[in-house]
Amino acid sequence: MESMDLAGRSILLVEDEPLICLDTARRLQTAGAKVFADSHLDKALGLAGHADLSAGVLDFDLGNADSTLICWKLLDRRIPFSVHTGRVYSAFRQWPAAPVILKPANRGLIATVAGLFR
């Protein structure tokens, strides 16, 4: 069982693969986080403006779109985020403070997200 490292935190989860989204959301919730999740760019951009947001876990590939706009919005709001992806892109150099978590995520997911607050 994962600890409550994320207690009191609100996490934006952007993931377009339903099973990965459910598993990742469950893991974040088990660690104490409130999760705002969506798989579509437009809806996720709206959630990225939520007043209580603490951090983001973003899948980069979203079908015909990617999470670039969400990354910039979170950066503008000074909200830390990690990129949760199956591929590594040179575009990630735009956000050097954002750790990249390669799929499939392991137990390091919660530690990486908790590390965003240190």
Prediction pTM value: 0.92
Query: Using one digit for the tens of pLDDT, what is the confidence trace for 63-99?
Result: 888 999 999 999 999 999 999 888 877 777 888 889 9
Q: Is residue 111 part of a domain?
A: yes
CATH code of the domain covering residue 55 = 3.40.50.2300
Query: Does 1 fall in a domain?
Result: no
Please indicate, yes or no, if residue 58 is contained in any of the structural domains. Answer: yes
The residues pairing with 14 across neighbouring beta strands, listed in sequence order, are 38, 58
pLDDT at position 93 is 83
Res 107 pLDDT > 80: no
Residue 3 forms part of a structural domain: no
Alpha-carbon distance of 46 to 87, in angstroms, equals 25
- State how far the Cα of 116 lies from the Cα of 97, in Å rounded to an integer: 9
Q: Which domain covers residue 41, as residue numbers? A: 10-115
Cα distance between residue 111 and residue 19, in whole Å = 21
Contact 57/31 with Cβ under 8 angstroms?
Answer: no
Q: pLDDT over 90 for what percent of the chain?
A: 67
